[in-house]
């Protein structure tokens, strides 16, 4: 019985051993198969054919391109000087040309004319009063001189002389007072005449009426302009320049200007105003470009493309075809071939001239950039460099 039990135990151990060996063999087989498949995949990994060009230094024209709106150099909103008056006449309409000093509008002036008539009457009365006082003074002065002569001859009493001298002094003071009243009356009349003139509104500059804000019969107000006058014979463009370029801007620089309305024409302007400070929030400085527009070809409100030539500079450049833009952003990247693989690098661009694009950050000179075939690449893709001709130069993983 014991012998039979021992035999069964040995048989179980053998079976278990066989099962373990079989499972181990399967595991080793699967592992070796996985390794072989990976090696086959590596050997079969596709290398993308690409063409490359090296980044290099080149002398570029330092051209600064800006945009801005064209505005009149002279643009004036004309306000009434007298509030609370009805606008009786409005003599201009939008688009009308008016010369400096031309009449734009008049306000109701009945009240002010009545005040002027009253002031004239006061002045006339003051003048008549002065004449009367002067006549009295002349008579009293003769009496004073006569009594002074008699007093020296002891022919009149001192009391009578004192009386005539006091009367003369009082009349002289009355003359001075009458003269002052005339001055006040004249000043009051002059103020009223100035106010009366302000009831007529004149153009402070020559130009076209570019806007009219009120209608005839409306009430004048200090906060509401009547019209806006624009002189388009000389225009301006106000734009901002980044801090790194601002120091190169000089007053008097010539500027090329293009507008969409005249795609085949290039207009010329001049840098005329340079803000002396940089805005710390934006790190930009403001400049003003003036444009002569005697023939009125350009119109206020047009959108302009501005080009300034600042000289030359040595810059690291790449071919335009090497640049790729991240979708939905203004950021650029390139593929650089390193050890047979395409490496994605983010870059910052600067000047744009023909086929050369300045790279301000992200690259160094002599790097090989993919200029053809990048649509099939991703970061780390194996590549094979294809000559610009028909031959192929292998830069990838060994076959």
Per-residue pLDDT tens over the stretch 242-255 = 998 898 899 999 99
Helix ranges, the chain (H): 2-44, 110-152, 158-197, 243-246
What is the C-alpha separation between 257 and 265, in angstroms, rounded? Answer: 9
What's residue 244's pLDDT? 84
In a domain, 245, yes or no: yes
Give the model confidence (pLDDT) of 147-173 as tens digits: 888 888 888 888 988 898 899 899 999
Tell which residue, 361, 341, 349, has the closest CA to residue 319: 349
CATH code: domain of residue 373: 2.40.420.20
Helix ranges, 237-375 (H): 243-246
What's the mean pLDDT in 29-45? 59
What is the C-alpha separation between 336 and 323, in angstroms, rounded? Answer: 11
- On whether both 242 and 301 belong to a single domain, the answer is yes
Tally the domains of the chain.
4
- 61, 307 Cβ separation under 8 angstroms: no
Give the model confidence (pLDDT) of 101-141 as tens digits: 999 999 999 999 999 999 999 999 999 999 999 999 999 99
DSSP 256-286: EEEETT-TT--EEEEEEEE-SS-BTTTTEEE
Q: pLDDT band for 278, please (50, 70, 90 cuts).
A: very high
- On whether both 93 and 212 belong to a single domain, the answer is yes
- 50, 338 Cβ separation under 8 angstroms: no
Q: In 3-state terms, what secondary structure has residue 1? A: coil
Q: pLDDT band for 71, please (50, 70, 90 cuts).
A: very high
- 350, 359 Cβ separation under 8 angstroms: yes
Phi-psi region at 254: left, alpha or beta (left = phi > 0; alpha = psi -120 to 50): beta
In a domain, 289, yes or no: yes
C-alpha 251, offset from chain centre? 18
Phi-psi region at 230: left, alpha or beta (left = phi > 0; alpha = psi -120 to 50): beta
- 134, 165 Cβ separation under 8 angstroms: no
What's residue 397's pLDDT? 40
What's the mean pLDDT in 290-315? 91
What's the mean pLDDT in 226-249? 92
- On whether both 129 and 192 belong to a single domain, the answer is yes
* Structural domain that includes position 90: 80-105+202-225
What is the C-alpha separation between 363 and 367, in angstroms, rounded? Answer: 7
Asked which of 9-18, 272-281, 329-338 is least confident by mean pLDDT, the reply is 9-18
Query: What's the token pair of residue 173?
Result: 């003071």
Give the model confidence (pLDDT) of 91-108 as tens digits: 999 999 999 999 999 999
Domain final residue, candidates 265, 280, 313: 313
- On whether both 99 and 128 belong to a single domain, the answer is no
Instruction: Answer yes or no: is pLDDT of 3 > 70.
Output: no
What's residue 29's pLDDT? 67
What is the C-alpha separation between 31 and 33, in angstroms, rounded? Answer: 5
- On whether both 298 and 218 belong to a single domain, the answer is no
- 74, 230 Cβ separation under 8 angstroms: yes
C-alpha 362, offset from chain centre? 31
In a domain, 299, yes or no: yes
- On whether both 84 and 221 belong to a single domain, the answer is yes
Instruction: Answer yes or no: is pLDDT of 393 > 70.
Output: no
What's the mean pLDDT in 313-329? 88
Instruction: Answer yes or no: is pLDDT of 351 > 90.
Output: no
What's the mean pLDDT in 353-368? 91
In a domain, 323, yes or no: yes
- On whether both 192 and 327 belong to a single domain, the answer is no
User: Which range is most confident: 7-11, 23-27, 224-228, 312-316?
Assistant: 224-228
Instruction: Answer yes or no: is pLDDT of 293 > 90.
Output: yes
- On whether both 97 and 211 belong to a single domain, the answer is yes
Q: pLDDT band for 327, please (50, 70, 90 cuts).
A: confident
- On whether both 183 and 123 belong to a single domain, the answer is yes
In a domain, 2, yes or no: no
In a domain, 43, yes or no: no
What's residue 37's pLDDT? 60
In a domain, 1, yes or no: no
Q: What percent of the chain has pLDDT over 90?
A: 64
Tell which residue, 300, 298, 306, 302, has the closest CA to residue 241: 306
- 249, 266 Cβ separation under 8 angstroms: no
Domain final residue, candidates 267, 294, 313: 313
- On whether both 116 and 133 belong to a single domain, the answer is yes
CATH code: domain of residue 240: 2.40.30.170
Q: pTM higher than 0.75, yes or no?
A: no
CB atoms within 10 A of CB 265: 11
What's residue 394's pLDDT? 45
- Sign of the torsion formed by the C-alpha atoms of 114, 118, 121 and 127: negative
What's residue 310's pLDDT? 86
- On whether both 188 and 115 belong to a single domain, the answer is yes
Instruction: Answer yes or no: is pLDDT of 201 > 90.
Output: yes
Packing angle of the helix pair 110-152, 158-197 (nearest 10 deg): 160
In a domain, 331, yes or no: yes
Domain final residue, candidates 296, 313, 330: 313
- On whether both 238 and 346 belong to a single domain, the answer is no
DSSP code, position 264? T
What's the mean pLDDT in 283-294? 94
Q: pLDDT band for 392, please (50, 70, 90 cuts).
A: very low
């Amino acid at each position: 019985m014991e012998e039979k039990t021992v035999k069964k135990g040995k048989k179980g151990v053998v079976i278990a051993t066989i099962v373990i060996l079989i499972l181990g063999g399967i595991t080793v087989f699967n592992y070796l198969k996985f390794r072989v498949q990976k090696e086959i995949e590596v050997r079969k990994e596709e290398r993308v054919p690409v063409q490359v060009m090296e980044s290099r230094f080149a002398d570029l024209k330092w051209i600064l391109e800006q945009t801005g709106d064209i505005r009149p150099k002279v643009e004036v909103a004309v306000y009434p000087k007298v509030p609370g008056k009805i606008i009786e006449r409005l003599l201009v309409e939008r688009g009308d040309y008016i010369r400096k000093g031309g009449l734009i509008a008049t306000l109701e002036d009945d009240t002010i004319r009545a005040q002027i008539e009253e002031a004239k009457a006061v002045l006339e009365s003051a003048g008549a009063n002065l004449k009367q006082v002067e006549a009295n003074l002349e008579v009293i002065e003769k009496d004073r001189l006569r009594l002074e002569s008699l007093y020296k001859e002891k022919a009149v009493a001192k009391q009578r002389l004192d009386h005539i001298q006091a009367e003369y002094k009082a009349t002289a003071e009355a003359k001075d007072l009458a003269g002052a009243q005339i001055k006040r009356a004249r000043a009051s009349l002059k103020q009223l005449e100035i106010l009366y003139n302000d009831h007529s509104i004149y153009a402070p500059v020559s130009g076209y009426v570019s806007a009219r804000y009120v209608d005839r019969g409306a009430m004048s107000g200090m906060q509401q302009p009547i019209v806006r006058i624009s002189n388009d014979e000389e225009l301006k463009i106000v734009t901002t320049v980044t801090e790194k370029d601002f120091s190169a801007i000089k007053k008097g620089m010539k500027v090329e200007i293009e507008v969409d309305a005249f795609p085949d024409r290039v207009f010329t302007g001049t840098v005329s105003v340079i803000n002396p400070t940089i805005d710390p929030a934006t790190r930009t400085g403001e400049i003003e470009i003036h444009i002569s527009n005697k023939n009125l070809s350009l119109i206020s409100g047009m959108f302009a493309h501005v080009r300034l030539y600042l000289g030359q500079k040595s810059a690291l450049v790449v071919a335009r075809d090497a640049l790729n833009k991240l979708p939905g952003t203004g950021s650029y990247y390139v593929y650089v071939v390193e050890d047979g693989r395409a490496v994605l690098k983010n870059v910052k661009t600067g000047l744009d001239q023909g086929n050369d694009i300045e790279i301000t950050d992200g690259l160094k000179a002599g790097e090989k950039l993919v200029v053809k075939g990048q649509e099939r690449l991703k970061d780390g893709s194996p590549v094979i460099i294809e000559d610009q001709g028909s031959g192929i130069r292998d830069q990838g993983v060994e076959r």
